[in-house]
Structure 1
Amino acid sequence: MVRDRLSPCWSGVLNRVNEHRSLAISVAAAGALALGLTGWVLMDQEELSPVVMERGRQREDNPSSSLPLPPKSRSWLSPLARQCSGVDTTLRSRLNQLEARSSSWRAFVKIDPTNFGERYDKDAYGRVIDATPRVVVLHETVYPLSSALNTFMTPHTRDEDQVSYHTLVGQDGRVVDLVDPLSRAYGAGYSAFLGEWAITNKKIKGSVNNFALHLSLETPLSGANAYGSHTGYTTQQYDALALVLSGWIRSFNLPPASITTHRHVDLGGERGDPRSFDWSKLQKRLAALGDLCVS
């Protein structure tokens, strides 16, 4: 029907196209690109946890082949301090004993391959980038661990819906590893750390995912809302968290200052997790494990 309506003036259009062929091609390409864009789709909270609403990757409103400007750098003052003395030896003993029986509280669960990928050594513009894990982003699930697991095990064919963390820590101290640390989890959308991000798809906004490790704490029942705080995390969670982080610190030679929050790396200003996180409890545990006595 569109062709029928245009047919009376079709010969005139052809003449103009021949006169201005380059302009016509540019206009046609721009129109096709605009039609190809997809918007942000919010999922029902009753079916999926807020980790899905964050999305691991967010589409650009106007994807372009030109190099985008890097994000504005925001400094990160780590709450973790250097500590070589005053270590709680009883706590150290408890953590060492817990680590010795990690097979009883830590397991790997296979999630759908659409929700994670490989780290890139080049960005979407062909520039060489460093994919070595060098920042740890802490999150919270908001809803139960089972809800997050269900989300990660569900196939998501659209880039906007794909999401995951490397590791989950339950309220009972159970640790569920989901993505190999050498692979890329989709834990953050539009994000950067110390002014750095990686754009691995021109249609997707830059994020820290290509060089980040993502860990999420199961939220207590009091946190299943949009309030700014809740009752906090359990002793078992802080113990397990410290052991997971200690392993990453040693495996990737990470400075403690590289441990940050979703709130800090988020560039959209919408994320506040992990809420009610007690850095002093993590300080004591990492100090007991000997991971804070660094220059």
Structure 2
Amino acid sequence: MRFQDWATRVLLISLMFMALIVVLLIGRATKLHNNPTTSRISNPQVTAWSQYPQAQFQSAKEPEKKSQRVLKSLVKTNQPVARYVTTQVFAQYKPNYQVASVDPSNYGERYTQDVNGLSLNNQPIIVLHETGYSASSAINFFQVAHKDESVQASYHALVKLDGVVVYLVPPDKRAFGAANSVFDGSEGVETVQTNPNLPASVNNFAYHVSLETPPDSYDSSSQQTHSGYTEAQYHSLAWLIAQSQVPDYRITTHHLVDRSGKKVDPINFDGKKFLSLLNKYRQVRPIYRVSK
């Protein structure tokens, strides 16, 4: 046999073996992709607050139908992790926005430990408010220095009657939006005391968003009710929150978390309408990771 013929045969055999190996590898990858029992779930553990002015939060599992459920340990439940992704409807809606500074006395840092030195790992919640009066009056108040800690107050963001979004406090900072407050979830109450002289609150793990109150409520005799919020406000609110990873069941109101018995906001809030819009602006996308 000539050397050229021998070399040609060896080359052909080598190519056949390589093709066989490639086919086997493709088959193995396809099997892993189609078989959920061979997949492991991505499990991001670190709560991440985005850079100002937009809100990004901890990855969340697929929302459950029951409201205000606490995100359970993925190690215990082994449930698939999901991320929210914004939709075409979100991309088409572009509200105007403003940035307003807040006096440093009216917000602070998020704590990693409570007053007793216990580590804090609460998953974020979103608390909805209303201003009570005009947006400008609320912003003016936040821009004034307050030495009295019981008076200090702020939101992370505010939505005006015309749908303009006003960014106030960076999401990674602790806004003073709900004093003496508790988030009541399915696994118990969540609250954090960071000041021994003040009641515990949800502020350390909350993102506070407020709706501007309509003018017909400015009269003190009618502050228990009003005409409701504008279409633009509902759309801008849903648009803003669609950018977060906070599940529906961890979106609540000032009235529900308040323990002072004095807060009733947001008044006349249409929760079904808001959630319907939110679900149009974002969708759930499961995340899987192939096991090693």
Normalising by the smaller structure, the TM-score range is: 0.5 to 0.7
Q: State the partner residue of 2:212.
A: 218
Alpha-carbon distance, 1:292 to partner: 6.5
Higher strand residue share:
2
Q: Which runs of 5+ in 2 are unaligned?
A: 1-64, 69-86, 287-292
Q: State the partner residue of 2:103.
A: 112
TM-score by length of 1: 0.63
Q: State the partner residue of 2:183.
A: 193
From 233, 242, 255, the equivalent of 2:238 is 242
Alpha-carbon distance, 1:291 to partner: 3.6
Q: In the alignment, does 2:132 pair up with 1:138?
A: no
Identity value in percent? 40
From 63, 73, 78, the equivalent of 2:67 is 78
Structure ID, larger Rg: 2
Q: Hey, what's the Cα distance between the residues in 1 that align with 2:102 and 2:162?
A: 21
Alpha-carbon distance, 1:131 to partner: 5.7
Alpha-carbon distance, 1:168 to partner: 0.4
Q: State the partner residue of 1:230.
A: 226
Alpha-carbon distance, 1:196 to partner: 1.1
Report if aligned partners of 1:287, 1:293 keep a CA contact under 8 Å in 2.
Answer: no
Q: Hey, what's the Cα distance between the residues in 1 that align with 2:223 and 2:102?
A: 30
Post-superposition CA distance 1:12-31 (Å, at most 9, x none): xxxxxxxxxxxxxxxxxxxx
Alpha-carbon distance, 1:96 to partner: 2.3
Alpha-carbon distance, 1:219 to partner: 0.4
Report if aligned partners of 2:157, 2:210 keep a CA contact under 8 Å in 1.
Answer: yes
SS at match of 2:243: helix
SS at match of 1:247: coil
Alpha-carbon distance, 1:107 to partner: 2.4
Q: Hey, what's the Cα distance between the residues in 2 that align with 1:260 and 1:213?
A: 10
Q: Hey, what's the Cα distance between the residues in 2 that align with 1:234 and 1:203?
A: 39
Post-superposition CA distance 1:137-184 (Å, at most 9, x none): 000001000100000000011211110000000000011111111110
Q: State the partner residue of 1:273.
A: 265
Alpha-carbon distance, 1:235 to partner: 0.7
Q: State the partner residue of 1:171.
A: 161
Report if aligned partners of 1:78, 1:260 keep a CA contact under 8 Å in 2.
Answer: no
From 141, 144, 159, the equivalent of 1:154 is 144
Shift in CA distance, 77/229, structure 1 to aligned 2, threshold 3 Å: farther
SS at match of 1:137: strand
SS at match of 1:151: helix
Post-superposition CA distance 1:188-228 (Å, at most 9, x none): 01000021111101111100000001000000012223543
In the alignment, residue 247 of structure 2 is paired with which amino acid?
Answer: P
In the alignment, residue 212 of structure 2 is paired with which amino acid?
Answer: E
Q: State the partner residue of 1:283.
A: 275
In the alignment, residue 78 of structure 1 is paired with which amino acid?
Answer: S
Q: In the alignment, does 2:92 pair up with 1:97?
A: yes
Report if aligned partners of 1:256, 1:292 keep a CA contact under 8 Å in 2.
Answer: no
Higher helix residue share:
1
Q: Which runs of 5+ in 1 are unaligned?
A: 1-75, 80-91
Alpha-carbon distance, 1:94 to partner: 5.4
Post-superposition CA distance 1:94-138 (Å, at most 9, x none): 542223xx5xx1122111000000000011111111265x11100
TM-score by length of 2: 0.64
Alpha-carbon distance, 1:78 to partner: 2.9
Which one is further off, 285-294 or 118-127? 285-294
Q: Hey, what's the Cα distance between the residues in 2 that align with 1:279 and 1:126?
A: 37
Q: State the partner residue of 1:6.
A: none
SS at match of 1:284: helix
In the alignment, residue 96 of structure 1 is paired with which amino acid?
Answer: A
Report if aligned partners of 1:256, 1:291 keep a CA contact under 8 Å in 2.
Answer: no
